[in-house]
Amino acid sequence: MKKLLLLSFVFCSLFGVFSCQKQGERFTVEGQITEAKDTMLYLEHLTLGNGVVAIDSVKLDETGDFCLHGPRPGNPEFYRLRIGGQVVNLSIDSTENINVRARLPQMTLGYKISGSGNCDTIRILVLKLDTLTRGLQRVADDRSLTLSERDDSIRQMIKTYKDDLKINYIQNRYGRASSYYAMFQMVDGQMVFNPINDSSDITWFAALANSWELLYPDCQRTENLRNIALQGKQNTRKSVIEIDMENEKVSETGMIDMGFPDKMGRERRLSDLRGQVVLLDFTAYDMQGSQERTLAMRELYNRYHAQGLEIYQVSLDIDEHYWKTVSENLPWICVWNSEGLENDIVRIYNLQTIPTWFLIDRESNLAGRMEFTESVEAEIQRLLSVR
């Protein structure tokens, strides 16, 4: 269920483990990754504005010993060790010396760490999120439950998980990097804590923002917390947005083409998907119920993508950074309409509410506007069977 979107970096290591020494204002991450001979180990900075940035690397030998360095950050920052799709998440706020030990096949969920209480708490949070993710997948796959029952179960599981984090990992620990990490955990591309979907989450973001304001007043992450809290307080959007339009409805026998930038800035055109059955979805990730809807769409995508189903999802969210964050790990085509509800495409498709979606057949004909119900699966099967 949980997939990582990784950037590839190819660097040669400049320092071996036997020359591991502190130089200047730097932090050190050292240790041993066994069963990883001849693989590249990267130390990457998870920046807030520039994505993932590689800062050091080493090619592991048969011992798996390593020693990597990075410049000391001016405030708590987040990093990771990575080999392929296996990662170890870290937080650094000074010239720490952190030790990590793991076996490559179980690196993400089976590592041991010392030298940082925050890093060890993050390790626990990673394990807890993995348990939640697997539990949500079991519910999503349980065909003995109705869609409504699955949604209710998923909602309750996430609520229980959030309550645990609030009480045991965030409350009275607002200034810690591990608390920041906990507040930004994501499930299937959706933030677990989201002040847009859940007004009670605003209080928790505000508490972190106040603490970080005192401890790190000029930090970019402090500004991020402050902006999220303010955006949540100012949010007045309803669970369904009504759009008052008099334009003629889009034809049921033709598709209107469109092109918007994806998360990498590349224009993705709907017409390029000719030959596939397309679920065209207009949505906003900051709306109530978005997470449950995404899980339902993930089911359809996983089940029918190999047979020719593609999802072209148009975000009408106001905040581009927020859209990129929540859509980062979604496997389908996600594009952003920067004009939101004012765009001509919204009017042409006569969107009366969002979310709204359409099905398009293999010949790029609009097969109809539909509600997201269990009946959609039968319609997708029918369109996929037509050649």
Instruction: Identify whether residues 230 and 197 lie together within a single domain.
Output: yes
Same-domain check for residues 284 and 320: yes
> Maximum Cα–Cα distance for the chain, whole Å?
72
pLDDT for position 371: 56
Supply the pLDDT for residue 21: 41
Query: Who's near 262: CB < 8 A, 6+ residues apart?
Result: 268, 333, 334, 335, 336
Specify the pLDDT at position 239. Answer: 38
pLDDT score recorded for residue 197: 65
Both 109 and 130 in one domain: the answer is no
Residue 237 has a pLDDT of 44
203 & 325 share domain: no
Q: Cβ contacts of residue 103 below 8 Å, gap of 6+? A: 33, 34, 35, 110
On the question of pLDDT at 16 being above 80, the answer is: no
pLDDT of residue 18: 35
Asked whether residue 81 is assigned to any structural domain, the reply reads yes
pLDDT per position as a tens digit, 57-72: 999 999 999 999 999 9
Residues 75 and 149 in one domain: no
Are both 100 and 160 inside the same structural domain? no
* Residue 120 placed within a domain: no
Structural domains counted in the chain: 3
User: What CATH number should be reported for the domain holding residue 24?
Assistant: 2.60.40
Is 110 in the same domain as 168? no
End of a domain among 86, 115, 144? 115
Q: Backbone phi, then psi, for 382, in 5-degree steps?
A: -65, -45
**pLDDT above 70 covers what percent of the chain?**
84
Domain contains 158: yes
Residues 264 and 353 in one domain: yes
Is 70 exceeded by the pLDDT of residue 22? no
pLDDT at 4: 36
Amino acid at 104: L
Instruction: Tell me: do 144 and 258 sit in the same domain.
Output: no
- Residue 210 belongs to what domain range? 125-234
Q: What is the pLDDT of residues 223-256, one digit of tens each?
A: 888 888 877 666 534 434 444 434 344 444 456 7
Last residue within a domain, chosen from 80, 115, 150: 115
pLDDT per residue over 172-197, tens digit each? 899 999 999 999 998 876 788 887 66
Q: Is the pLDDT of residue 142 over 80?
A: yes
Residue 7's pLDDT is 30
User: What does pTM read for this prediction?
Assistant: 0.59
* CA 278/CA 245 separation, integer angstroms: 25
Instruction: For 89-108, write each residue's pLDDT tens digit.
Output: 999 988 889 999 999 999 99
CB atoms under 10 Å from CB of 179, counted, come to 24
pLDDT band at 311 (very low <50, low <70, confident <90, very high): very high
Rounded Cα gap, residues 315 and 15, in angstroms: 45
pLDDT for the residue numbered 249: 43
Q: What is the pLDDT of residue 157?
A: 93
CB atoms within 10 A of CB 76: 22
Which residues pair with residue 356 across a beta bridge? Answer: 282
Report the distance separating Cα 190 and Cα 185, nearest Å.
8
Task: Examine residue 3 and state whether it is found in any structural domain, yes or no.
Answer: no
Which pLDDT score, from 0 to 100, does residue 240 have?
Answer: 41
- Contact between residue 201 and residue 291 where contact means Cβ atoms under 8 Å apart: no
Using alpha carbons, select from 285, 293, 277, 300 the residue that is nearest to residue 337: 285
pLDDT tens-digit series, residues 207-221 = 999 999 999 998 889
pLDDT of residue 113: 96
Instruction: Return d(Cα 296, Cα 1) in angstroms, integer.
Output: 12
pLDDT at 374: 56
Does residue 5 form part of some domain? no
Burial of 170 (0-12, 13-18, 19+ CB in 10 A): buried
Averaged pLDDT for residues 36-65: 93
Q: Which of 208, 234, 260 is the last residue of a domain?
A: 234
**How confident is the model over 330-370, as pLDDT tens digits?**
999 999 988 777 777 777 777 777 888 888 888 888 777 76
Please report whether residue 7 resides in a domain. Answer: no
* 4 assigned to some structural domain: no
- CA angle at residue 91 from 106 to 172, to 5 degrees? 110
Which CATH number belongs to the domain containing residue 359 in this structure? 3.40.30.10
Are 257 and 276 contained in the same domain?
yes
Average pLDDT, rounded, for the chain = 82
Where b means 16+ CB within 10 Å and e means fewer, 119-148 reads bebbbebbebbeebbebbbebbeeeeeeee
- Do 153 and 106 belong to one domain? no
Q: CA 111, CA 292: separation in Å to the nearest integer?
A: 31
In a domain, 343, yes or no: yes
pLDDT at 145: 86
> Do residues 54 and 71 both lie within one domain?
yes
> Average pLDDT of 159-168?
93
Name beta bridge partners: 53: 45
